[in-house]
Structure 1
Amino acid sequence: MTGQFATETGGCGASSARVSQDRPPGAAALAALTARLPGLRPAGAPERRGEFVIRGLRTLPVTA
């Protein structure tokens, strides 16, 4: 099954998963995803953003 991930969120859009404050937001998000979906695996190469100001991944294909 390949597709987008949807979470149950609170009124302000905050996820119900706990997020550690001592790691980068992307790492915390991936840890929360893999804890909630243990079968989650990469489904291709990630695509990085080219912008300087907003860095990170543009896409991260996964399969469960």
Structure 2
Amino acid sequence: MANGSQIDQLVDRVERLLVRYEELQRTNALLAEQVELLTTERDSLRSRLSAARARVDALLERLPDLNTPA
């Protein structure tokens, strides 16, 4: 009887571990999706920042140099 009880306990633990494993797999998949979305958003923001910097640099180039006489 003791062996049967131990086997039942072991089966219970294995089943709980399997449920937990499946939950962790789903969580991991969701986190991987979030990482992908955030990476895409970051890349887009970097691109926009680079374009804005280029526009600001172009505007600065058009400003008259204050060190040279007019």
TM-score bracket relative to the smaller structure: under 0.3
TM-score, with structure 2 as normaliser: 0.21
TM-score, normalized by length of structure 1?
A: 0.23
Asked which structure has the greater RCO (Cα within 8 Å, sep 6+), the reply is 1
**Higher helix proportion:** 2
Higher strand share: 1
Larger-Rg structure: 2
